[in-house]
Amino acid sequence: MSEELEGKHGVQSLEIGMGILRAMANGQRSMMLKDIAAAADMPASKAHRYLVSLIRAGLVDQDPMTSRYDLGTFALNLGLVALDRLDRVRLGLSAISELRDEINQTTALAVWGDGGPVVIRWERPRRPITVNVTTGTSLDLLMSAAGRVFAAWMPKNIIAPILAEELKHATLPPALKSKAAVEALLAEIRAQGYAATNGQHKVAGVEAAAAPIFNFKNEITMAVLVVGVQGMLDISPEGKVVQSLKQSAEKLSLRLGAHGEPKQP
């Protein structure tokens, strides 16, 4: 039977070729033939035949000195064009809308502004008691879930002076009044993949959780938030709200090209 099963079933040989490219992209470095074959789960002889065609198409290059294969110029150009056409905010707005529908809670999207996180859009749930979020609101780093997410993953040279000011002037709970305590909190957030206010939100009676969105450089680019009334919003680590929040953030990060471990500050 021919490898090319055209029509409604697609073209199998093209799908196999894409599988090889996917294996090379996931490898994050130039690779030997045997490693590509293993990653793509096929014999080396078969992988080599596809690599020859991919080289002819400009999707793969081979270093004549080392015999290693890497993504070619055309593949890189395709990636750059795709990234240029992505509208992260548009995708983020769709993500918070879908998340709102899934958990029926207030959701919001925050980006980094001139001096901290800023809410750029929020979605109201279908429930009688809700928390309204004002578009354009600037968020504290230490007393908001989104702020904590950005503080955990933004470069330290950007975050440090803002944290220092908040430690000096903000009204903070006793557990957050030292630099060491803040560093411990941010390390915990990085380990668990999300931040929650846990009764420490700046606005009394409000509870929130947030998760980071990463771009193709594995740098934080946005944050997705869930906001609710304290005592009515379950933000326990294994609860549906937090699990759905993290899944939404991970899905959007993948859509924006994130791969591997997030870039550490």
How many angstroms separate the CA atoms of 190 and 17, rounded? 36
Rounded Cα–Cα distance for residues 240 and 246 (Å): 10
> Dihedral through CA 215, CA 186, CA 260, CA 239, nearest 10?
-90
Strand partners, 74: none
Instruction: Tell me which amino acid residue 54 is.
Output: L
Supply the pLDDT for residue 86: 63
pTM assigned to the model: 0.70
CATH code matching the domain that covers 7-84, chosen among 1.10.630.10, 1.10.10.10, 1.10.3720.10, 1.20.1260.10: 1.10.10.10
C-beta separation of 222 from 180 below 8 A: no
pLDDT in tens, 190-233: 999 999 998 777 777 889 999 999 998 899 999 999 998 888 88
Q: Within 13 A of 82's CA, how many CA atoms are on the CB side?
A: 11
Residues in the chain: 265
- Is residue 2 very low, low, confident or very high in pLDDT (cuts 50, 70, 90)? very low
Q: Which CATH number fits domain 86-255: 3.40.50.970, 3.90.1150.10, 3.30.450.40, 2.120.10.30?
A: 3.30.450.40
The ranges assigned to domains in the chain are 7-84, 86-255
Cβ of 55: how many Cβ atoms within 10 Å?
Answer: 14
| pLDDT mean over 56-75 | 92
- pLDDT, one tens digit per residue, over 104-114 is 999 999 999 87
pLDDT band at 137 (very low <50, low <70, confident <90, very high): confident
pLDDT tens for 84-108 read 566 888 899 999 999 999 999 999 9
Fold equal for 7-84 and 86-255:
no
Q: What percent of the chain has pLDDT over 70?
A: 93
